Structure 1
Amino acid sequence: MSQLLSEYESLKILKQPQAIHEQIYFLEKALLATSDTDQFDLYKLEKDGSSRLVVPQVNDFTGNQEHLFYLKNKQIFQLTDDGIMQQLTFQSGEILEMQAVPRAEAVFYVAKQVQLDPDKQWVSELRSDQVGQVTYQLRCISRTGGDELIQTFSGAIRLLDVLNIEQVLLAQQLPPSELLLGQERLVEIEVKSKLLKIFSNRSILKISSARYSPNGDKIISIATDQSYADGYIPQLFLFDRLIHKNIVQYREEALPWRFDDLQDSMFHQIWWLDNQTYLFVTVFHGHNRLYLADVTGKKELVSDEAQMIKDLTIVNEQVWAVLTKPQRPDYLFNLSTHQTMYDPNLTKQDFKKAQKYVFRNRQGAILDGWFYTNVHGQNGPTVLFLHDQLHGMHGEAFNWQIQALLNQGMNVVTINPTGTSGYGVNHFQNDFLLAPDSVVADLLIGLTVAIQQHPKVSDVKHQLIFGAQAGAAVAHQLLIQSNQFLTAVLTDPITNWAQWAQIEGHAEIGHQNLEKQQQLLANSMIWSQATWTSAVGLLISDTMTTQSQGLHQYLKQYSVNQSPKIQVFTWSKQVGNQGELDQVKIDQTKVMIDWFLRYGKLNILTKRLGKLSL
């Protein structure tokens, strides 16, 4: 078991391909890196298709036609033509993001500054909600012009795009007094005059990404507004300076969304080709579609394959992208010529392909899912995989946890819920809490259809469930209402939505009645395993997710001592950084597979993981 996931720890993920000075640069890191999650290695693509390490352990990089800059050890450096790495900034604050100025040897960047109260002696004395002590600076730096402060903001800003040395596009957080108007607004700052121009409607709530057209007359953005009941459906907007209006260009299919973590953006998924046409990516039934559109609203579907398009770029007037497929982790692909340009995982493994299937629910609506056949192609158990993240929910996207299950002879089924990208907070609030019986019925029908379509590899008597966070609540409800599952593993369940929202930075659920949801969860889904029909379950949670502490107390008092139907594991050490969190995920996966394979032999688990609190 110690070598079970070693093959996945060596897999590589790619990010940010960019053409700089007629060379292709990109970021690369191990899929399960144990170091700082924000640290990537900067590589250059050689003509023979190999790669050469340029700078190790960087947090970000940017460039234009001639110059390359990178962020390392909280400072910005420039890589000169002769290979010298010159430090440009000497910031005491945290540099959040940066972007090179086209056709100039300069970089705009955002720095977060924290002013300590003179009465406070330690940073730990500061409360996280004391936002008045934090400011955000927009700055510009170059080798010749020094480090210039452009403007200071009291609320958070994000750097969206740079047109030239004089015009910068920002997402600006509105002050608390204006939050009823929206959470963010799209603004342009004129560097010389310090004038802010507002480019978004008053109904805009959150801006994911935005890009100038080459001449700057128009701006394409992905943002959410108040036109939907829950207010959080991303749409594609076009802003035209001539009429000074934001017009909805596209809303038919889901759009990729950039989350609050600045280092974990959804990469570049909108791109101008010229002043009239642009490319954009959508999420459609578990895979990405690529569209070509123009400013009049006309669009053409140019790519519709079972793949995730993670990052677009233009190289010599050709469209390149970082792609991910079921049988193939990240690789760099030329969409214009249909050629693989670089594949860091080419010789690592031969993954099986997921098969998409469709079925009708009780109301006659068409739903779809994915069936992964185990790598041995032999009869084995089937795991219903309920996850809260896009990359974990959809069958076309490479997922190392799914691959680990497949390598152990298990099949995996994922079922795409309607309207959302996974079994996360949005699905939980808008679908599951309102109609849990309907969600459970859809999943049971979808799983049954998948198994019936693959009788040679599916052992009907061995049906299992894996559920994470909100997906764990869905899995629990399945165990209550059905007796067809042999066992289940539930990881990091969310029992306190208010605390979860604060920890994860999801302010958008603040408008919901959290107390009502909390009560519903407590009354109907609080893991009362006595109501489970037959299954034996394993609950895993690490102590970083403090929202689960109350759940452990509940289980210790009412469940574990009364019945062997559920066992609880919690990591005993605090998780201090993303590297440790990644290791927790690896350990959780090992425990999950052990539980599925050895069913209830807890002594094996405790010997491997060492000190655990039960």
Structure 2
Amino acid sequence: MRNLQVDDLFKLQSVTNPTLSPDGKEAIFIKTHIDEEDNKYIANLYHIDLTTNETTQWTHGKHRVSSPKWSADGKQIAFLSNREEKNQLYILSARGGEAKKITTLDKGVSSFHWSPCGKKIWFDASVKEGKSFSYKEEKDDKKKPEPVRVTKMKYKMDGVGLLPQDSFKQIGVVDLETEDITQFTEGNFHYSLQAVSHDGSKLVIGVNRKENLDHEFRQPLYLVDVETKEETVIVDEEGYYGGARFSFDDNYIAFVGSDRSFQNATHGNLYVYDTRRGNTINITESIDAPVGDYSVADHQQGGGAPSVVWTKNNDLYFQLSTMGDIRLYFATLEGELYPATAENEHVYGYDVNAEGDFALVAISDPVNPGEIYQLAISTGEREALTSFNKDYLEEVKLVAPEAIVFKGPKDWDVHGWLMKPAGFKEGENYPLVVNIHGGPHAMYGNTFFHEMQLFAASGYGVLYINPRGSHGYSQEFVDAVRGDYGGGDYEDIMAAVDYALAENQWIDADRLGVTGGSYGGFMTNWIVGHTDRFKAAVTQRSICNWISFFGVSDIGYYFSEWQIAADMKDVETLWKHSPLKYAENVETPLLILHSEKDFRCPIEQAEQLYITLKSMGKETEFVRFPDADHNLSRTGTPNLRIERLNEMTNWFAKYL
């Protein structure tokens, strides 16, 4: 067997979105791979016959398919595809044939839900102010550039660019026979379609109708009568709520969300609204862990999981991020709660049959890129339904990380993982790379991570932990980083290094490297400004100056206050937490990687850091990635992802 290589990205298969047919006898899913020649991601729809376990590819071509959904009678599948650049809606007979394109909207379709009659599909999509869904913007190659007038603070977004000031997301419905589209909502507001009731008479929609949304961090949910358009408030509180799903009898609506008790560090919960009584209960109030998937990794493409799935008995299933795992959990309306899947893995997609007998689960772990399994709910027994990565795993030797727990400051347990280098031999010494996740309110988990495996395959030990600020351990733990960037979180990471050195004689204390992206990039910058223990560092999509970040980031004007507890009226605090302030202390050779179109942590952050270090005679280099945004490492253009990884391993090879 050989070691993993950087271009194994082109060999790995991403298997996501398992979706059961209404009768539970069939399923569909999406397989994504990277086409090296065309330098792009290709995602197609696949089908499984659950009586024979036969798998069949249903769509072909070099495009991407997403969001597959069965009609209520199980005779048709609808999905989105970018076959013609914008995501449009297609339907496909479950008995075969070509997919039929249903929409040709100017800005494409954002999301959709079947009407239970099977003759209509509800959707949401952006529409130019004063125009209808049928409006088509004329393409003019000779059109002169025009200035953009900005009057709001939320005017740009990473991965999107400048937000259109004159377009709004509306809800519509398309008749599948005539392909006529009727617009359901109106006004200069952004609507999101959440759910359609099983009797077809009600919708759940999300909308904030405040005129100025600059300081609005809430999305009220409404139950809307399709005929009268009468609205009933489900939730209208500070925070984000969504992912609504009707129970089979339409008596309940489940949804997920979090208030702003701890700003964006607040745990997500699962709520159930009683449509008859009008009251809401918090199903997961007793669990000190967030509902949803907060794991970070770099392999799964386009994967999406339902926020919640109902059974006909009005039981519920959902994901929970806990102790480094993403587990499928079961709940009843009476308050029972328990896990339905095992520890030490990442359930990144799932569906449950109506009777609650079995589930389809997409599962990954550190040495398994991910496949789809059929899980017997009562016994926990599972059977693999796909094996797309089987040949790869027989060819490549992966390194299984060791879970570690150590005491950080405040005597808190801090959790993480340590990987030995591939081909490890007792008695030899090896360099160690510390890899810090972004967020900061995310978490490393028990999932496959190509980047971690590449470092190990390149001869490095790899240490990655969940310092305070990480999800999955407690509300107190995830909140503890706010207002203390560079404080206790830095101490947690240094304690992890001390623990690893004390417990593992094979680690060479004189050959330590550190890297991280986003918040992990901030922390990398902070570390090299506060210690010279590391002999090499790579900072990615980082923050170095909170003062400028306030005005240039798409989230800066509120994120700074939420996380640093300061705004531009308190520049002293912003500067105190800025790694740039400590640039003179940097003795570690620092490679700076940044994307040109990163609007989350704009490239000026990297420019400031590079020029400042260079002017002081520090050892540093700066690599800029064109046409890439904040998500380069996960979903960026494939060749640039390869170049990024090569830059990192080459830098560590040079200095470690």
Q: Is the CA contact 1:44–1:54 (under 8 Å) kept in the aligned structure 2? A: no
Q: Structure 1's 432 and 592: CA in aligned 2 closer, same or farther, altered over 3 A?
A: farther
Q: Is the CA contact 1:320–1:335 (under 8 Å) kept in the aligned structure 2? A: yes
Q: What is the aligned partner in structure 1 of residue 290 from structure 2?
A: 254
Residue deviations 1:385-422, cap 9 Å, x none? 01215999514121111111111111111111235349
Q: What is the aligned partner in structure 2 of residue 98 from structure 1?
A: 112
Distance 1:395 1:237 in 2: 25
SS in 2 for 1:7: helix
CA-CA distance at 1:561 after TM superposition: 3.7
Distance 2:441 2:461 in 1: 18
Distance 1:431 1:413 in 2: 20
CA-CA distance at 1:195 after TM superposition: 2.2
Q: Is the CA contact 2:325–2:345 (under 8 Å) kept in the aligned structure 1? A: yes
Q: Is the CA contact 2:303–2:348 (under 8 Å) kept in the aligned structure 1? A: no
Q: Counterparts in 2 of 1:187-198, with a 5 A limit?
A: 187-198=222-233
Q: Counterparts in 2 of 1:397-476, with a 5 A limit?
A: 397-421=447-471, 431=481, 433-434=483-484, 436-456=486-506, 458-476=507-525
CA-CA distance at 1:20 after TM superposition: 3.5
Among residues 356, 372, 376, which one is paired with 1:332 in the alignment?
Answer: 372
Q: What is the aligned partner in structure 2 of residue 584 from structure 1?
A: 640
SS in 2 for 1:347: helix
CA-CA distance at 1:592 after TM superposition: 0.5
Distance 2:558 2:130 in 1: 25
Among residues 313, 332, 339, which one is paired with 2:351 in the alignment?
Answer: 313
Q: Is the CA contact 2:208–2:218 (under 8 Å) kept in the aligned structure 1? A: yes
Among residues 614, 617, 624, which one is paired with 1:570 in the alignment?
Answer: 624
Distance 1:486 1:170 in 2: 53
Q: What is the aligned partner in structure 2 of residue 109 from structure 1?
A: 123
CA-CA distance at 1:338 after TM superposition: 1.2
- Name the aligned partner's letter for residue 139 of structure 1: G
Among residues 487, 498, 510, which one is paired with 2:550 in the alignment?
Answer: 498
Among residues 173, 192, 195, which one is paired with 1:158 in the alignment?
Answer: 192
Q: Structure 1's 409 and 348: CA in aligned 2 closer, same or farther, altered over 3 A?
A: same
Q: Counterparts in 2 of 1:151-550, with a 5 A limit?
A: 151-153=184-186, 154-164=188-198, 165-176=200-211, 183-200=218-235, 202-228=236-262, 232-251=266-285, 252-256=288-292, 266-315=304-353, 317-336=357-376, 337-349=381-393, 350-378=397-425, 379-388=429-438, 393-421=443-471, 431=481, 433-434=483-484, 436-456=486-506, 458-494=507-543, 495=545, 496-498=548-550, 501-502=553-554, 513-515=566-568, 520-523=573-576, 524-526=578-580, 528-532=582-586, 534-545=587-598, 547-550=601-604
Q: Structure 1's 332 and 257: CA in aligned 2 closer, same or farther, altered over 3 A?
A: closer
Q: Which moved more, 1:285-294 or 1:48-57?
A: 48-57
CA-CA distance at 1:553 after TM superposition: 4.7
Q: Structure 1's 249 and 93: CA in aligned 2 closer, same or farther, altered over 3 A?
A: same
Q: Is the CA contact 1:371–1:395 (under 8 Å) kept in the aligned structure 2? A: no
CA-CA distance at 1:99 after TM superposition: 1.9
SS in 2 for 1:396: coil
- Name the aligned partner's letter for residue 98 of structure 2: I
CA-CA distance at 1:37 after TM superposition: 7.5
Distance 1:34 1:515 in 2: 48
Q: Which moved more, 1:382-391 or 1:126-135?
A: 126-135
Q: What is the aligned partner in structure 2 of residue 66 from structure 1?
A: 75
Distance 1:113 1:35 in 2: 32
Residue deviations 1:342-381, cap 9 Å, x none? 1321111342222211111232111111112222123421
Unaligned runs of 5+ in 1: 601-614
Q: Structure 1's 199 and 365: CA in aligned 2 closer, same or farther, altered over 3 A?
A: same
Q: Is the CA contact 1:322–1:331 (under 8 Å) kept in the aligned structure 2? A: yes
Q: Is the CA contact 1:136–1:152 (under 8 Å) kept in the aligned structure 2? A: no
SS in 2 for 1:144: coil
Q: Structure 1's 371 and 432: CA in aligned 2 closer, same or farther, altered over 3 A?
A: farther
Q: Is the CA contact 1:208–1:257 (under 8 Å) kept in the aligned structure 2? A: no
Q: What is the aligned partner in structure 1 of residue 18 from structure 2?
A: 17
Q: What is the aligned partner in structure 1 of residue 31 from structure 2?
A: 28
Q: CA RMSD in A?
A: 3.6
Q: Is the CA contact 2:254–2:273 (under 8 Å) kept in the aligned structure 1? A: yes
Distance 1:218 1:501 in 2: 40
Distance 1:307 1:32 in 2: 28
Q: What is the aligned partner in structure 1 of residue 298 from structure 2?
A: none
- Name the aligned partner's letter for residue 417 of structure 1: P
SS in 2 for 1:239: strand
CA-CA distance at 1:267 after TM superposition: 2.0
Distance 1:95 1:264 in 2: 16
CA-CA distance at 1:116 after TM superposition: 8.4
Q: Which moved more, 1:377-386 or 1:49-58?
A: 49-58
Distance 2:570 2:497 in 1: 28
CA-CA distance at 1:27 after TM superposition: 1.2
| Residue 63 of structure 2 corresponds to residue 54 of structure 1 | no
Distance 1:296 1:594 in 2: 56
Distance 1:191 1:99 in 2: 14
Q: What is the aligned partner in structure 1 of residue 159 from structure 2?
A: none
Q: Structure 1's 283 and 518: CA in aligned 2 closer, same or farther, altered over 3 A?
A: farther
Q: Structure 1's 38 and 30: CA in aligned 2 closer, same or farther, altered over 3 A?
A: closer
TM-score (norm 2): 0.80
Q: Is the CA contact 1:393–1:414 (under 8 Å) kept in the aligned structure 2? A: no
Q: Which moved more, 1:439-448 or 1:44-53?
A: 44-53
CA-CA distance at 1:211 after TM superposition: 1.3
Distance 2:558 2:655 in 1: 39
Q: Is the CA contact 1:9–1:33 (under 8 Å) kept in the aligned structure 2? A: yes
CA-CA distance at 1:430 after TM superposition: 5.9
CA-CA distance at 1:149 after TM superposition: 1.6
TM-score (norm 1): 0.85
SS in 1 for 2:650: helix
Unaligned runs of 5+ in 2: 132-136, 156-162, 296-300
Distance 1:392 1:372 in 2: 20
CA-CA distance at 1:83 after TM superposition: 0.9
CA-CA distance at 1:184 after TM superposition: 0.5
- Name the aligned partner's letter for residue 134 of structure 1: S
